[in-house]
């Protein structure tokens, strides 16, 4: 965001502090400055000083934070250990708001930015009682834990914490239909009678290009083989 400053009164030179760490000396009292995102605050205080006094002005940043409604997965909020889970975060509505009771409930999913900015997603997934994070991957197979990255879909293998995916994956058709087929994929483990459900916390920070953010936290139940 570019702003212009014109000082009135006093005599130059004028020292102009823009409040974001940048300052300059102007003989005329006229200057321009660009506030570059991501913004770390909603307002910046401009302070101008000269030999005869000082003046102040406030610059307001108009950037509404994103809204995140929820993660969509066709299997709900349960999965087996090392199962390929597709986490869908693009904004869409499921169900019908005005249909008869036989229709699915109207539910919003994914992230939405009121200003139309691109959204970035930062994942942290941990099992209860532990600090080590499970791996989350983008569709190219890059591990993206703790990084703010754009995308509509992410991949999670519960209990998998390595840098590379559990197995290579490629998507040659729509991810919605692929999601529906996830439960039919061959798995590299067999759930024994001694399996148990454990609670995993998904902490997702959704931010826009300018730095505004929303935090979404949910819990999933993951079936682990205790052997």
Q: What DSSP string describes 5-44?
A: EE--SS-S-EEEE-SSS-EEEESSSEEEEEPPSSPSSSEE
pLDDT in tens, the chain (227 residues): 788 998 888 888 999 999 989 999 999 889 999 988 777 778 899 999 998 888 999 998 888 889 999 999 988 888 999 999 999 999 998 877 777 666 777 889 999 999 899 999 999 999 998 889 999 999 999 999 999 999 999 999 999 999 999 988 766 545 544 444 444 444 444 445 567 889 999 999 999 988 889 999 999 999 988 76
CA–CA gap between residue 13 and residue 205 (Å, rounded): 45
3-state secondary structure of 227: coil
3-state secondary structure of 115: coil
CA distances from residue 6 to 22, 43, 196 in whole angstroms, order as listed: 17, 19, 68
- Is residue 128 within 8 A of residue 201, CB to CB? The reply is yes
Question: How is domain 67-225 classified at the architecture level of CATH?
Answer: Sandwich (2.60)
């Amino acid at each position: 965001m570019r702003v212009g400053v014109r000082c009135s009164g006093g005599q130059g030179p004028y020292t102009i502090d823009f409040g974001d760490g940048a300052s300059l000396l102007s003989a005329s009292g006229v200057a321009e400055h660009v506030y570059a995102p991501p913004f770390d605050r909603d307002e910046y205080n401009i302070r101008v000083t000269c030999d005869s006094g000082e003046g102040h002005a406030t610059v307001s940043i108009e950037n509404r934070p994103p809204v995140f409604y929820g993660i969509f997965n066709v299997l709900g909020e349960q999965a087996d250990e090392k199962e390929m889970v597709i986490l869908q975060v693009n904004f869409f509505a499921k169900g019908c708001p005005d249909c008869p009771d036989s229709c699915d409930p109207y539910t919003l999913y994914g992230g939405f930015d009121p200003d139309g900015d691109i959204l970035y997603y930062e994942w942290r997934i941990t099992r209860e009682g532990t600090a080590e994070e499970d791996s989350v991957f983008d569709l190219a197979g890059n591990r993206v834990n703790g990084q703010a990255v754009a995308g509509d879909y992410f991949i999670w293998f519960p209990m998998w914490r390595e840098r590379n995916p559990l197995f290579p994956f490629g998507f040659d058709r729509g991810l919605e239909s692929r999601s529906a087929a996830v439960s039919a994929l061959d798995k590299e483990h067999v759930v024994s009678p001694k399996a148990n459900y454990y609670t995993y916390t998904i902490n997702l920070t959704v931010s826009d290009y300018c730095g505004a953010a929303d935090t979404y936290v949910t819990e999933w139940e993951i079936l682990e083989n205790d052997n």
